[in-house]
Chains A and B, each alone.
Chain A
Amino acid sequence: MPKKLVDGNEAIVQGALRAGLGFYAGYPITPASEIMQGLSKSGIAFVNAEDEIASVSMVIGASLAGKKSMTATSGPGFSLMQEGIGLAHMMRVPVVIVNSQRVGPSTGMPTLAAQGDILQAYHGSHGDFVSIAFYPNSVEECYKYTIEAFNAAEEAKCPVYLLTDGMLSHLFESVDLDAVKISLKQRDLKPLGHGSRHFTGLLSKEGIPKTKDSIYYRQWYKSYKDELSNAADNYKFYEYIENNNSDTLVISYGILSRAVFEFKGEFALFRPIRIFPLLEEIKEISQKYKTIIVVEMNDSQYALLLEAFLKREIKKVPVLGGLVAIDELRKGLLNE
């Protein structure tokens, strides 16, 4: 197939359909709306929901009813979804949630890009768990990692995030999406209407609530965490460019990495694509470098996590959301 001009949001639409999406519910928000608009024309089961709380609840219901399900939003809507995300973890429901980030808090600068929801994606909901999250940096990757997000959701039986941002969602690139080949994970959860299972947000064992059993809670939590991280192990996506002339590793992700990778002459570069759970590979790679710099379009959210993960000090270049000039990056990276 010939190459076509496609933007990030359209690639997400195409990726979701390729993955077998059967249900979408959503509420419009810049810069994610085109995903909803695109899917409204696709013929799949679709709801214009009253808000993002309803959207996430509907995708949970639809997924239990047997359809691969997705919703897409931006920061404020992602906040409203956090309650439902907790439910999806407790009930172990595969759903995909896209968060196209904009500059916040609140309505902030809604048409400009940011990476301000990194910690929200890490621990934004109540309780104790980390969702699997992917953060592509190109239109082709938006397609690819949407499909992988569906695969990971089916495999781990939990909500999986695809993070993007206002710039990547609206970035047009010339791509041949049909040339991308990824095998699909099929459902092994029987749809509703086939038994007497009880799906509940309460801690439960075989459908029977266990609301006072702290020992069982600890067992349940450990086995869930293990299952989730074993599943995530099959999705260890990252990009690493070694540089033997540099003792500095620069870590960046998402759209910003496109600019940061311009500095490959000066530094070694690392880009997590499966951004959560944190990649063990960063530990080994980072050992080779005297200095680690994390550049991100927020006030050092990922750097904060990495500092604890790597147990060493990280140099932070928090460029914040909005338009980023390459000179600003150069200044931050080279101390100019």
Chain B
Amino acid sequence: MNDLIKQEMMPAIWCQGCPLGIILAQFANVLAELGLSKDNAVIVSGIGCTGRFAGYMNMDSVHTTHGRAIPVAEGIKTANPALNVIVVSGDGDLLGIGGNHMLHSSRRDIDITVICINNELYGLTGGQLAPTSQIGAVTLTSPQGSAVEPINIQGLSTLNKKHFYARTTPAHVQHMKKCMSEAISWKGFSFVEIRTKCITRSKSPLFKTGCDLLNWLKTEYKITDENRKLKDNEMGIIKSG
């Protein structure tokens, strides 16, 4: 672990086997590689399991209300454009309750990076249906399986003429680092979706260990280097502008 993580706060509160730990460690490595530190960067999170992310970083950080990480980040960036402002939060936080802010901050092309940890449900509150849940997903509030399509994050993130969208997983560490690094270096609004599953609440599939989860992600997702619309099981970077 590098010194961009608050060692004294370890172990993190996350469940055993939850990939958030891997993401945190690699995120800190990416920041170090880019020369970001407490002198020039601020991390902002919303509420949820992922919302705890900001508090583990060894730099000024803000843990906002549910869904409001993006507008708080936009306020910070607009007030002090010299700061590198990075949002790390959950899918429910960013695309459910906070969806409107995602639409408008991306349209205004605010120079921030948003990293969305998409575990396809509301983790912290116990595993309810999220806008990202797949058709058929059984959750605490969709016992018969979700009847509707999940929100199209790729579509939303590429709505504007100028855009940066990347999809990756914590099982593909080099790719995940590349996505985070390019997104943070991108001038303007950039969005990274990190696809994962909730080790504790996921019903389909069920995972026994973190290793099972990573292996599942590894076989499920394939990398493409092409700058084009990604298929359901593809990872890659789409950028324009």
Contacts and interface: CB of A to CB of B under 8 A. Distances in A.
Given A54-B101, A209-B55, A23 B75 contact: yes
A208 B8 CA distance: 10
B55 A50 contact: no
Interface stretch (B56-64, B190-198, B220-228): B56-64
Given A192-B83, A193-B41, A195-B38, A61 B75 contact: yes
A198 B55 contact: yes
Contact of B65 (A50, A59, A86): A86
A197 interface: yes
Interface string A61-104: 11111110100000000000001101100010000000000000
Contacts of A201: 47, 63-65
Contacts of B183: none
Contact of A200 (B38, B40, B63, B103): B63
A25 interface: yes
B80 A84 contact: no
A207 interface: yes
A224 interface: no
B128 to A, nearest CB: 20
B79 A67 contact: yes
Contact of A58 (B75, B80, B100): B75
B231 interface: no
A87 B82 CA distance: 25
B103 A50 contact: yes
B75 A87 contact: no
A66 B60 contact: no
B74 A47 contact: yes
B6 interface: yes
Interface in B61-107: 61-65, 68, 71-80, 82-83, 100-101, 103-104
B78 A192 contact: no
Interface residues of A: mostly helix, strand, loop or mixed? mixed
A207 B58 CA distance: 11
Interface in B22-60: 38-42, 44, 47, 54-55, 57-60
B79 A194 contact: no
Contacts of A193: 38-42, 60, 80, 82-83
A84 B68 contact: yes
A168 to B, nearest CB: 28
Contacts of B100: 50-51, 53-54
Given A200-B55, A209-B55, A69 B104 contact: no
A81 to B, nearest CB: 11
A58 B55 contact: no
Nearest to A193: B83
17 contacts: A22-B79, A25-B75, A25-B78, A47-B74, A54-B68, A54-B100, A57-B71, A57-B72, A60-B64, A61-B62, A61-B74, A64-B76, A87-B68, A193-B80, A195-B59, A197-B61, A198-B61
Interface of A: 22-23, 25, 45, 47, 49-51, 53-55, 57-67, 69, 83-84, 86-87, 91, 191-202, 207-209
Interface of B: 6, 9, 38-42, 44, 47, 54-55, 57-65, 68, 71-80, 82-83, 100-101, 103-104, 108
Given A57-B64, A66-B79, 7 more contacts: A58-B78, A62-B76, A66-B80, A91-B62, A193-B42, A196-B6, A209-B55
